[in-house]
Structure 1
Amino acid sequence: MTFPGLQHVAITVSDLQRSTEWYSRLFGTEPVLDEDEEGGEFHHTVYALDGGMLFGLHTHNGNESKDAFDERRTGLDHVGFALPDSASLEQWGSRLDELGISHGGIKKAGYGSGISFRDPDGIALEFFIAPGT
């Protein structure tokens, strides 16, 4: 039996409106879902990305930790978005510049190349290509 691929990623944000506006600009689309979870535990705003992947923003009705994001803490380190080739990586670097989103430029390593950046809560994000692409 093969292990399945990721279907969705959900992150907790401190300000849903601010994050929804930011991610809508980044993704170039509006959410497909924006509702309270039926049990009342959290509210989620969800984007449908290419390839069938869903990306969700969650708030927990004021019960979120007030701690700042830190990739060194146990839990999420970063979210990487797959790109097909180096031309796409360069295009996304330019797009981040257009959006006024600071980033570290293209970094190359033996395991691939990427551009790292952060969302309004400081959550680490990356556009990434596999080696040789």
Structure 2
Amino acid sequence: MNPDHLSILVSSLETSMPFYDALLPLMGFDKIRPHIWKNADGFFIQLQQAHEGTSPYERNGAGMNHIGFGAPDAKTVVLIRDRMGALGFEVPDIQRLNGASAIFMMDPDGIRFEITYYPPGMHVVS
């Protein structure tokens, strides 16, 4: 079985939507309805408002640490980083990980998105 969707609860849709409206199209997602994007493989991401009084995302706490997406080439990693930076979002330097190129960006709640290019022959999970 393959995953078919990801639901992300954010503390403020108003604050988070500019980040996702910028990032997801760069990753090949099309907005199909407010707060819902879908890619060519049918995988979709939906954003919802978190319930009031719930705890915020904590990087090393229990739960999802980050979501990773594979880029088709190293240039795509650079393109996404440059475009997000040009739009005013904080973007880190590209990390070189044993031949792979990766960026780890955070949404306004601190949820991390990894975009990585793995060169041919590189094992994704070791």
Match of 1:56 in 2: 46
1:74-98 per-residue CA deviation (whole Å, 9 max, x = no partner) reads 1110111221111111111211211
Please show how residues 85-96 of structure 1 align to structure 2 within 5 Å. Answer: 85-96=73-84
Cα pair distance change 1:104/1:21, threshold 3 Å: closer
1:19 match: secondary structure? helix
Equivalent of 2:11, from 5, 14, 23?
Answer: 14
TM (norm. structure 1) is 0.75
2: CA distance, partners of 1:71 / 1:117 = 12
Corresponding pairs, count? 118
Aligned partner of 2:41: which letter?
G
Q: Which has the larger radius of gyration?
A: 1
1: CA distance, partners of 2:22 / 2:101 = 23
Match of 1:129 in 2: 117
Cα pair distance change 1:111/1:10, threshold 3 Å: farther
Match of 1:106 in 2: 94
* Runs of 5+ unmatched residues, structure 1: 35-44
Match of 1:75 in 2: 63
2: CA distance, partners of 1:91 / 1:108 = 16
Aligned partner of 1:92: which letter?
I
Report the CA distance between 1:111 and its aligned residue. 7.4
2: CA distance, partners of 1:123 / 1:130 = 22
* Contact 2:37–2:46 (Cα < 8 Å) also in 1: yes
Q: Over aligned residues, Cα RMSD in angstroms?
A: 2.3
TM (norm. structure 2) is 0.78
Aligned partner of 1:127: which letter?
I
* Runs of 5+ unmatched residues, structure 2: none
Percent identity between the aligned chains?
Answer: 25
Match of 2:37 in 1: 47
* Contact 2:59–2:110 (Cα < 8 Å) also in 1: no
Structure 1 runs of 4+ off > 4 angstroms?
A: none
